[in-house]
Chain A
Amino acid sequence: MKYIFLILFILLLLFLQIGILPHLKILGAYPNLILLFILSLGILNNWRKNLGWIIAAGLFLDFYSLHNILGVSVISLIIAGVIIYFLSQSVFKKTNSFSLILLFAAGILIYNILSVIIFKIFGISFNFRLISFVIMIIYNLIFALPMFYIIKWYVGKFRKI
């Protein structure tokens, strides 16, 4: 049952991402709910337990991207998820709001930088503006804590995912 709810939750995030969030665009930037979901899981759970969810969410992101290579988002999400898990276990052990914000900021940066590096390696062109990049990070951080507490509540309910 818990898996079905989680799959439905990922799908809901995907549909919100496609249908609703583009209307909240500021200078081409809007939040990536699926990334925030994976980062929240990365902070709350051991990354090994998250692997299946990361792969599923990453494949969704890849299918709904224009680039011709499947796996850019999957690989970026796995690496970001693993780093976030280790950071949450070592550098930011206390889960107060400030350390959570820092963790999410690190995760968002890692994911986007990795995506850009992979795009560059495979010669995929993409729109990049520093101001949009900064807005995108701030925008994601606004949505990060609500997402984290929803996932925390869910994880607490089922103990482990």
Chain B
Amino acid sequence: MFKKRKIISIIIGLLILLVMLNTVPGLKKGLGNFVYKIFSPINGLFIKTGNGIAGFFEVLTSIHDLNKENLKFRQEIQLLEADNTRLKEIEKENDILKEALNISQNIRQVKEVALISGKDIQGFQDWILINRGSKHGISENMVVLSPEGALVGKISEVEPSFSKVMLIIYRDSVVAALIEKSRAEGLIKRSEKGDLSMDFISNTEKIEIGEKIITSGMDNVYPKGILIGKIEVINSSDNQLFQKIFIVPAVNFNKLEEVIVIK
């Protein structure tokens, strides 16, 4: 009898606690912040270890391709260096012209580097937890990039010292994008199969596998020109008005260790 009463009181207590946590403003955030603060150093360590182990096995499996890749990358670096020099010249020229035409310069973006201190552990949703929050000037809908500058997602929830980032591979995520060469625009969403896709591209647009996809800025969330990924598959036929493309993201979301938040 006593045990039964004890169990009933525990369950009632739990329900009251859950209702309070979900309804009293600030209570859940405070507790969440406390939990994340305690566990984030060890979480970070495990995330790093996991990435290290995965990276080691990846190197082992790809060792025979490394020589070929090395040569290819060296050639690409040379091309990019040439491009870089040319673009710097154009940038200088652009600044001079803007000054001459009295056009205001773009406000420089303030960036905050954050470490990943948690990930979705149930696989239901796609998000990461970063160790920067409202105390560091982070607010909802800020854009999050990888250290290489590719699009990761946006801030979906902010706590004092931590924030949750909704990845672009999340079901509800929509990104306005354009194909770099053809300039065809569209919306990038998660497809039913779980990959990223872009729909309703006119059949007259000539697109190729491997072309880069960047943000178009039309959604007023993600600024224009951020790399999203590359075209992996093109679904088109002559009797269809539109073609659909599937995109491989530029970011390996499993291996992220740090990100950049644009304020």
Cβ of B254 and Cβ of A70 under 8 Å apart? no
A27 to B192, CA, bound (A): 12
Quick one: which of B23-50 are within 8 Å of A by CB?
28, 31-32, 35-36, 39, 42-43, 45-50
A102 touches B (CB below 8 Å): no
CB-nearest residue of chain A relative to B169?
Answer: A127
Cβ of B170 and Cβ of A127 under 8 Å apart? yes
Quick one: which of A57-73 are within 8 Å of B by CB?
60-61, 63-71, 73
- Chain B residues positioned under 8 Å from A25 (CB to CB): 123, 254
Cβ of B10 and Cβ of A51 under 8 Å apart? yes
Contact with B along A1-35 (1 / 0, CB 8 A): 00000000001001111111111010111101010
CB-nearest residue of chain A relative to B48?
Answer: A19
Within 8 Å by CB of A63, from B35, B166, B172, B192, lies B35
CB-nearest residue of chain B relative to A70?
Answer: B21
Cβ of B120 and Cβ of A15 under 8 Å apart? no
A23 to B256, CA, bound (A): 11
Given contacts A20-B53, A29-B123, A48-B7, contact A125 B172 (CB under 8 A): yes
A138 touches B (CB below 8 Å): no
Quick one: which of A109-161 are within 8 Å of B by CB?
115, 119, 125-127, 129, 132, 136
- Chain A residues positioned under 8 Å from B54 (CB to CB): 23
Given contacts A27-B194, A51-B10, contact A127 B126 (CB under 8 A): yes
Cβ of B124 and Cβ of A74 under 8 Å apart? no
- Number of contacting residues on B, CB 8 A? 48
Cβ of A125 and Cβ of B166 under 8 Å apart? no
- Chain A residues positioned under 8 Å from B21 (CB to CB): 70-71
Cβ of B46 and Cβ of A61 under 8 Å apart? no
Contact with B along A58-98 (1 / 0, CB 8 A): 00110111111111011100100000000000000000000
Quick one: which of B187-201 are within 8 Å of A by CB?
190, 192-194
Given contacts A19-B47, A28-B194, contact A70 B28 (CB under 8 A): yes
A55 touches B (CB below 8 Å): yes
Given contacts A28-B194, A66-B127, A132-B194, contact A18 B119 (CB under 8 A): yes
Q: Which residues of A pack against B, CB within 8 Å?
A: 11, 14-23, 25, 27-30, 32, 34, 48, 51, 55, 60-61, 63-71, 73-75, 78, 115, 119, 125-127, 129, 132, 136
Q: Which residues of B pack against A, CB within 8 Å?
A: 3, 7, 10-11, 14, 18, 21-22, 28, 31-32, 35-36, 39, 42-43, 45-51, 53-54, 118-127, 129, 156-157, 164, 166, 170-172, 190, 192-194, 254
Given contacts A66-B166, A70-B18, 19 further A-B contacts (CB under 8 A): A14-B121, A15-B46, A16-B46, A17-B121, A19-B49, A20-B46, A20-B49, A23-B50, A55-B14, A61-B122, A64-B119, A66-B156, A66-B157, A71-B18, A74-B14, A78-B11, A119-B124, A127-B171, A136-B123
